[in-house]
């Protein structure tokens, strides 16, 4: 487990003693990386979420009142701009950029530093949304102390982002109702050939003070499964290129058995889209049935031993559902490609 050294706040939005900015550092170790020495995307996502949870929980407890812990509700699309390697230092900075009555928007940047040369580069930018849950009653969402904005436009822009993510969360909450079923003797390059699942018993070390799973733990497991799917499909070194918005539909309690399932949905010439579903089974609570806890789409790229991008074997969808998911993935790919071209960014 990474030990993050707490940094010094450099920027404050609120008037008063509470901080709206957080900086942390962590050195990347061999167990944080794949066989090629690239740090796992899930490791970075976990660091991002830890920073977001600290700053949002600190902010939500900055005024006198009922104590709470900030729970992760959503992570916006996150691009992995450049790889991070073993021995480099990750600099994680988090800043509160908007608050609504019951939620906090946190923006997190990750820089990697080569401590031999002093070179730094931006590896990730992420936006996360948290809600404060009462320590006395986990189903009670508390009010968030407001932030003071330096410009009125900041509040207006934040409100637009809040409304957009709220609408999308409602649209996607029940979109992924199906489950990933194993298929005997699947053919190479099919969805069934690379699909993978991981079963994990939720223990105390995975959980918050509430006894519910940290969002960062869930994201790390999701990335791990997505990586297995990608590696099985192309049989090369693979790295996370981006993560579409991750929606946390429901909390996962300590003692649950969670099943993280991944399946390939689309391939372009040099990228793979993988859908990851998280289902929770409260085995010690007969009153609650298995439920969908989280879902997201991960994009991976295939790399040579020299770190060069390689062509990806084309996915062969077989069933009508697989063909439908392929076309939906193609639509997301083309939409993001057009957006990147408009911003002058490189294509995965």
Q: Name the token pair of 186.
A: 């699947």
223 catalytic? Reply is yes
Mean pLDDT, the chain, as a whole number?
88
pLDDT of residue 15: 37
Distance of CA 289 to the CA centre of its chain: 25
pLDDT of residue 1: 28
DSSP of 291-346, one letter per residue?
EEEEEEEEEEEEE-TTS-B---PPPB--SHHHHHHHHHHHHHHHHHHHHHHHHTPP
18 has pLDDT over 80: no
pLDDT of residue 223: 97
pLDDT of residue 101: 96
152 has pLDDT over 60: yes
Residues paired with 183 in a beta bridge: none
Residues 294, 110: Cα–Cα separation, whole Å: 24
Give the mean pLDDT of 198-213: 92
H-helix or E-strand containing 124? strand 120-134
pLDDT in tens, 31-74: 999 888 999 999 999 999 999 999 999 999 998 889 999 999 99
**Cα within 13 Å of Cα(229), Cβ side:** 35
pLDDT in tens, 69-90: 999 999 999 999 999 999 999 9
16 has pLDDT over 60: no
Catalytic residue among 32, 223, 244, 279: 223
Residues 126, 43: Cα–Cα separation, whole Å: 14
- For residues 337 and 118, which has the higher predicted lDDT (pLDDT)? 118
């Amino acid at each position: 487990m990474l030990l993050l050294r707490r940094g010094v706040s450099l920027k404050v939005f609120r008037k008063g003693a509470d901080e709206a900015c957080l900086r942390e550092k962590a050195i990347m170790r061999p167990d944080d990386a794949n066989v090629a020495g690239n740090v796992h995307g899930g490791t970075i996502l976990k660091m991002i979420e830890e920073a977001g949870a600290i700053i949002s929980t600190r902010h939500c407890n900055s005024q006198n009142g009922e104590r709470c812990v900030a729970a992760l509700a959503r992570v916006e699309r996150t691009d992995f701009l450049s790889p991070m390697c073993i021995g480099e230092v990750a600099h994680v900075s988090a800043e509160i950029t908007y608050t609504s009555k019951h939620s906090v928007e946190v923006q997190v940047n990750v820089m990697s530093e080569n401590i031999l040369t002093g070179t730094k580069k931006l590896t990730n930018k992420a936006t996360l949304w948290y809600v404060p849950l009462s320590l006395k009653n986990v189903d009670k969402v508390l009010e968030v102390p407001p932030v003071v904005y330096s410009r009125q436009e900041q509040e207006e822009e934040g409100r637009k982002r809040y409304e957009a993510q709220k609408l999308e969360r409602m649209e996607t909450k029940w979109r992924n109702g199906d489950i990933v079923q194993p298929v005997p003797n699947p053919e190479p390059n099919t969805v069934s050939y690379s699909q993978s699942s991981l079963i994990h018993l939720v223990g105390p070390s995975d959980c918050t003070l509430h006894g519910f799973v940290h969002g960062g733990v869930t994201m790390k497991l999701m990335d791990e499964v997505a990586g297995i799917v990608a590696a099985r499909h192309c049989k090369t070194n693979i790295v996370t290129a981006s993560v579409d918005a991750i929606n946390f539909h429901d909390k996962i309690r300590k003692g649950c058995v969670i099943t993280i399932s991944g399946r390939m949905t689309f391939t372009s010439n040099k990228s793979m889209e993988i859908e990851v579903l998280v289902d929770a089974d409260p085995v010690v609570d007969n009153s609650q049935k298995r439920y969908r806890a989280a879902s997201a789409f991960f994009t991976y790229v295939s790399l040579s031993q020299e770190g060069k991008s390689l062509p990806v074997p084309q996915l062969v969808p077989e069933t009508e559902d697989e063909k439908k998911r392929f076309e939906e993935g193609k639509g997301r790919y083309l939409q993001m490609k057009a957006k990147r071209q408009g911003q002058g960014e490189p294509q995965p």
